[in-house]
A = this chain, B = another copy of it.
Amino acid sequence: MNEETIKALLEEVKSGACSPEQALGQLRELPFEDLGFARLDHHRGLRTGQSEVIFCQGKQPEQIISILKHLGAKSQNVLATRLVPDHAERILQHFPNAQYDPLARCLLFHPLEEPSIPGKILIMTAGTADLPVAREAWITARYMGHEAETIYDVGVAGLHRLLAQRDSMDSAEVLIVVAGMEGALASVVGGLVDQPVIAVPTSVGYGAHFQGLAALLSMLNSCASGVGVVNIDNGFGAASLASTIIRRINKNR
């Protein structure tokens, strides 16, 4: 429903093929579908350049199933994120071919295809406990068509482990840094590379970590520039942002 279609509509009004009342109605109608409790936005992919994703936290299994059914009829694949194992089990009974990744808490309708969009996203974690968030980012990136590489457990307390990854870092278009504790990895990586760095604080920690606040504040105050931050544990959001950057790169190729 862009300017072209509006202009076409107005031409129809001019020619009498469409009455003003009809045109008014069409201007008001928009391409989403109403399930009562949720509004599916079939054109979001066109509008923001991203495929359909369902954020499952806080939704009842029945609601998720209903949304999936409607989306499944019209789209090729769907990614469901933040899906707890109990709910996944009930949903898999309706979609036995879907695949659930318990570490990332993600569900996919179809297997991931080979990356179709050039430009690597490198996902690095400070520790092993940050894996679930990194995995959510990896699945999201691959689901959106991107090449994605993961490097785990390269926290700053052992700088040599990180510095050994120089080649992988240099060959990426965007880097996603996933870190809990004091989140220092974002600053150190940000100081080493000249690509965009997306920092994901995680809730990995205890005590004065305050469920991720320490890592979040640390990353927001990074002394390195070129670092953007997403919400705590938001692997999906980091990959989405990385995707917008890489699609932009390819649009300009």
Name the interface residues of A1-20: CB closer than 8 Å to any CB of B. 1, 3, 6-7, 10-11, 13-14, 16, 19-20
Residues of B within 8 A of A229 (CB): 220, 228-230
A32-B160, A214-B221 known; A37+B128 contact, CB < 8 A: yes
Assembly CA distance A240 to B227 (angstroms): 8
Contact B14–A20 (Cβ < 8 Å): yes
Assembly CA distance A154 to B196 (angstroms): 23
Task: Produce 1/0 per residue, A131-162, CB < 8 A to B.
Answer: 10000000000000000000011111111110
A121 at interface by CB-CB < 8 Å: no
Choose, from A69-77, A89-97, A107-115, A241-249, the stretch at the interface.
A241-249
Contact A232–B244 (Cβ < 8 Å): no
Q: Which residue of B lies closest to A66 (CB)?
A: B128
Name the interface residues of A182-229: CB closer than 8 Å to any CB of B. 182-184, 186-188, 190-198, 201, 203-229
Assembly CA distance A231 to B182 (angstroms): 11
Assembly CA distance A233 to B210 (angstroms): 13
Interface size class of A (residues with CB under 8 A): 35 or more
Assembly CA distance A67 to B57 (angstroms): 32
A7-B24, A207-B212, A233-B206 known; A158+B50 contact, CB < 8 A: no
**Number of identical monomers bound together in the oligomeric complex:** 8
Residues of B within 8 A of A154 (CB): 39
Contact B248–A195 (Cβ < 8 Å): yes
Assembly CA distance A237 to B226 (angstroms): 7
Contact A23–B38 (Cβ < 8 Å): no
Distance (Å) between the CB of A93 and the closest chain B CB? Answer: 21
Residues of B within 8 A of A116 (CB): none
The 9 closest A-B pairs by CB, nearest first: A228-B228, A58-B129, A207-B232, A49-B194, A184-B184, A157-B191, A214-B217, A10-B20, A225-B240
User: Taking beta carbons and an 8 Å cutoff, which residues of A are in contact with B?
Assistant: 1, 3, 6-7, 10-11, 13-14, 16, 19-21, 23-24, 27-30, 32, 36-39, 41, 44, 47-50, 53, 55, 57-60, 63, 67, 82, 103, 119, 126-131, 152-161, 163-164, 166, 173-174, 180-184, 186-188, 190-198, 201, 203-234, 236-237, 240-241, 243-245, 247-250, 252-253
8 examples of A-B residue contacts, CB within 8 angstroms: A48-B226, A156-B187, A181-B223, A194-B244, A195-B244, A208-B213, A209-B217, A248-B249
